[in-house]
Amino acid sequence: MFVAVSHSDEKRITIYSSNYLSGFLKLKQVRLPKDAMLSNTFTLMDTSESQVFLFIENYGIESPFGNLYISDEKGTTFTLSMSKVIKGTAVDFEKISALDGTFMINRYNNDVGNSKLKSKQQVKEFDESDLISYESKKSKLQRPETL
């Protein structure tokens, strides 16, 4: 279980998690890279591969990008999986159901075109955004525990 806890500024949150082993009662703040510890919001993208994909809007709520983080098996420690993942009304993240551990992500590529995109409109004009098939490194692990 993931919980958004309001920061004192009431604009940002920190994220706590717990799992079934404690009856979901032992909530602990998740460990994220420093620039993601406080965010505007978060989206749980997938929990099916004994790991959690978490999308965090750490470029600000107006930005058309966010970062994707991947957890350990307990869902408490996260590392950066993919930066500058594109979000519109939903995050451009899709699990490929027929291929275990395979996800597709739409990501802005810094190396092509204007590197200072500021609005969603500019993203629409930027048709060369990469379509990346990202195979999780952990996909070959056996399925031990779900959160």
Residues 6+ apart with CB under 8 A from 122: 64, 114
Phi, psi of 59 (to 5 degrees): -100, 5
Give residues 73-112 in contact with other proteins (rule: CB under 8 A).
75
Residue type (1 letter), 32: L
Applying CB under 8 A, among 25, 89, 115, 140 the residue interacting with other proteins is 25
Q: How far is the CB of 30 from other proteins (least distance, A)?
A: 12
Give the x-and-dash track for 38-57 against other proteins (CB under 8 A): ---x--x--x----x-----
Residues 6+ apart with CB under 8 A from 41: 4, 13, 56, 57, 61
Q: Answer yes or no whether residue 16 interacts with other proteins by CB under 8 A.
A: yes
> Which residues are at the interface with other proteins (CB under 8 A)?
1-8, 10-13, 16, 19-25, 27, 41, 44, 47, 52, 75, 145-147
